[in-house]
Chains A and B, each alone.
Chain A
Amino acid sequence: NAGVTQTPKFRILKIGQSMTLQCTQDMNHNYMYWYRQDPGMGLKLIYYSVGAGITDKGEVPNGYNVSRSTTEDFPLRLELAAPSQTSVYFCASSVGYSSYNEQFFGPGTRLTVL
C-alpha cells in the first residue's frame, strides 16, 4: 500500500492564481483531512470529510474549497492564492471515529505564494 499520497511536493504560485492540491489514499479509509502548518506552528485543520459526498469546515477554511466524490480522493482547491496561504499542507486519513483510530499522514506539499 502506498498509504496517503500528495501531489505536487512543491509549488510556487503568484498572487491570484488558483491550484488544486491532490490527495489520494488506498487504505479504504472513510475519514480524510487537510491541515496546514505554518512555520513554528502546529497543524491546523482546514477541512475534513467523513465519507464520499460529505465535507465540513475545520478551524481555518477561508480561501479553500474541497470535494469528496470518491472514497480515495480528497482534493483541496485554492481559488485566489494569497501570501497568507504560504504553508506546508498535509493530507491525512483514518478509518473512522474512535479513540484508537490513528490518522495516517501524507508527505506534505510545500506551497509558496509570491
Chain B
Amino acid sequence: AQRVTQPEKLLSVFKGAPVELKCNYSYSGSPELFWYVQYSRQRLQLLLRHISRESIKGFTADLNKGETSFHLKKPFAQEEDSAMYYCALLTGGGNKLTFGTGTQLKVEL
C-alpha cells in the first residue's frame, strides 16, 4: 500500500539558515509527488509539484527514486516560510492524494 512519511513533526531554524523538510514515500507505481503548505489562518494550498521541476518562493524538491524521497529545500529561510508543510503522493484513479502527517516549520529571528 502507498505511504508517505514525514519524520519530523517540528523543524525550527533561524532566519537565513538552510531548510530541508524530509519526505519519504512507498508506492509500487510511478510516483508523482507534491508539497502542500498551510500558512497560519489560511487554506491548504499547493506549493510545488515534482513534475514541473519548479522553484516556488525559493523552495525546490527533487524526486530521488533510489532513496524514495522528495525532500523540500530552501537555501535561506525567511520568517514568512513559517507554516505547516505536507508531502503528498498521487495514487491511482480519481486524482487521489495520500498525505504525510506534516512538518511544522518555525523560522526564528
Flag if B44 contacts A48 (CB, 8 Å): no
Neighbouring A residues of B97 by C-beta, 8 Å: 43, 45, 103
Known A100-B52, A105-B45, A107-B43; judge A42-B86 contact (CB<8 A): yes
Asked if A90 is an interface residue, CB under 8 A from chain B, the answer is yes
Q: Which of B46, B52, B86 has the most CB of A within 10 A?
A: B46
Contact status of A94 and B95, CB under 8 A, knowing A42-B4, A102-B46, A105-B44: yes
B47-66, CB < 8 A from A: 49, 51-52
Q: Which residues of B contact A104 (CB under 8 A)?
A: 45
Whether A40 lies near B43 (C-beta < 8 A) is no
Tell me whether A101 and B95 are in contact in the complex, defined as CB-CB below 8 angstroms, given that A41-B101, A42-B4, A42-B100 are known contacts: yes
Size of interface on B: residues with Cβ below 8 Å to A: 24
- Which residues of the partner chain B approach A31 to less than 8 Å between Cβ atoms? 94-95
Given known A40-B9, A42-B4, A43-B86, contact A58–B44 (CB-CB < 8 A): no
Report B's interface with A, CB cutoff 8 A.
4, 6, 9, 32, 34, 43-46, 49, 51-52, 86, 90, 93-102
